[in-house]
Amino acid sequence: QVQLQESGPGLVKPSQTLSLTCTVSGGSISSGSYYWSWIRQPAGKGLEWIGRIYTSGSTNYNPSLKSRVTISVDTSKNQFSLKLSSVTAADTAVYYCARVYSYGSVDYWGQGTLVTVSS
């Protein structure tokens, strides 16, 4: 059973960079034709794709966030990471990491981690 766990600071100051890591257990991040993705959800609102990465390193980002987002993968640690720069209060949300099939379906989700942007 694959499990994903997000980790990182729960509070980030405005204009700084939000950094989160997702640790994958129960399977190798390099096995299978999967992408690894970040998705976020502001409180009381809907879901928003941030981006995804293949283990080769190829990425796809949400155009609305592309200028501020970097997703990377560390296969040796079975982890992938998110960096979101120049954050504002609008970036306050629960951030989920997820495993994604090549055709876009998310079959495994992390439990989510709340990140608050505030001074």
Partner 1 sequence: DIVMTQSPLSLPVTPGEPASISCRSSQSLLHSNGYNYLDWYLQKPGQSPQLLIYLGSNRASGVPDRFSGSGSGTDFTLKISRVEAEDVGVYYCSGKLTFGGGTKVEIK
- Indicate the burial class of 65 (C-beta count within 10 angstroms; 0-12, 13-18, 19 or more): middle
Task: List binders of partner 1 among 15-34 (CB under 8 A).
Answer: none
Number of Cα atoms under 13 Å in the Cβ half of residue 7: 8
Running DSSP on this structure, what letter comes out for residue 87?
Answer: -
**By CB under 8 A, residue 95 contacts partner 1:** no
Which residue among 46, 58, 76, 90 contacts partner 1 (CB under 8 A)? 46
Which residue among 34, 49, 80, 95 contacts partner 1 (CB under 8 A)? 49
Give the chain's count of helices (H) and strands (E): 0, 11
Region near partner 1 per CB under 8 A, out of 18-26, 75-83, 84-92, 102-110: 102-110
**Amino acid identity, residue 54?**
Y
**By CB under 8 A, residue 105 contacts partner 1:** yes
Query: Residues in the site for partner 1, rule: CB under 8 A?
Result: 46-49, 52, 60, 62-64, 96, 101, 103-107, 109-112
